[in-house]
Structure 1
Amino acid sequence: MGHEHAEGQELLLRALHDAHAAELGRFVNRLTGDHAYAEDVTQETLFRAWQRPGVLERPEAAVRAWLFTVARNLVVDDWRSARNRHEVGTDAPPEQHQADATDRVLDSWLVSEALSGLSSEHRQVLVHGYYRSLSVREIAQALGVPEGTVKSRMHYALRAMKLALQERGVTQ
């Protein structure tokens, strides 16, 4: 029984790797710009999932969200500990806590990653509407489409964006 169990566990880990490693690796590589580090984080994330079989019994979208959240947290924790190793102690700490920019940077990367997965039509209306702060009328003129089309695309773009972010572990 022990040998069969070990074989089953190895098959589970291989299936987990085949299903998620490439996408997780690309995600972490975009966050960090370090391919070797991305592979390490990907392997650690998959190993943690393998250690928690209950996670793998969830629906596919929930498994993906869990994996992206774990990978993101591993990167954040590593960055914070690296920053702490390089900090110099002082007898007079600042009176006010300074906001940690790490979460803000990672969130912007997550948004960029999610945007890149949208269709060009959806990406265009979001970029024009949210990043350039154009009105529906201005977007319609810029893209040469009716205002109703802009409203429709915006609705579906926001829905797709929300789904893409949830799959990456951003919940709302």
Structure 2
Amino acid sequence: MHGTTEADVRRSRTRRPAPGADRDRFVRDIYDAYGPSLQRYASRLLGGDAHKAEDILQETAVRAWTHSHVLNGRDEHLRRWLFTVVRNLVTDHHRAAALRPLNLMPTEALEAVWEIPEHTLTLHMVHKAVMDLSEQQRAVIGLMYYLEYTVAQAAEYLGIPPGTVKSRAFYAVRALREALKDGEGHHA
């Protein structure tokens, strides 16, 4: 259990130094005791998507905190409850993905943009860079930069936390910058 015992978890809930510190300690105990197992389980259920598995783990920890008063630190109950929450969150994710396909813009709209002759090379580089992003990153970029959604709107549409939207946008923009910077050197 990575050094965290049932007694440690129970003690962390009975000590109340400060509301934020108590929460942080509780969540840290969950991560220490169950985090790797829960993340592997979520990743397996998600077909190997480690980023989404981390999101699921974070949401599970938040839900554990909000239900900490009924979990009572009983290891066998808590472990079972956490794995059930992970399974339910993954099921919700699969349902949401089936209802919200990530193909956000019609292909015809993109093709019309790519037909401008003086920008063909640059647009080709941008298009290739965007297509090299993960599907999740393309969805966030499409929502935020093409459809001009706010972070909150994109999070609601995709059914993910706003922090995940920000993170995906950050890494997507960074990847696009790198791809375009590398592309300039090849075509200059």
TM-score of the two chains, using structure 1 as the length reference: 0.45
TM-score, scaled relative to structure 2: 0.42
Structure number with the bigger relative contact order (C-alpha 8 A, sep ≥ 6) is 1
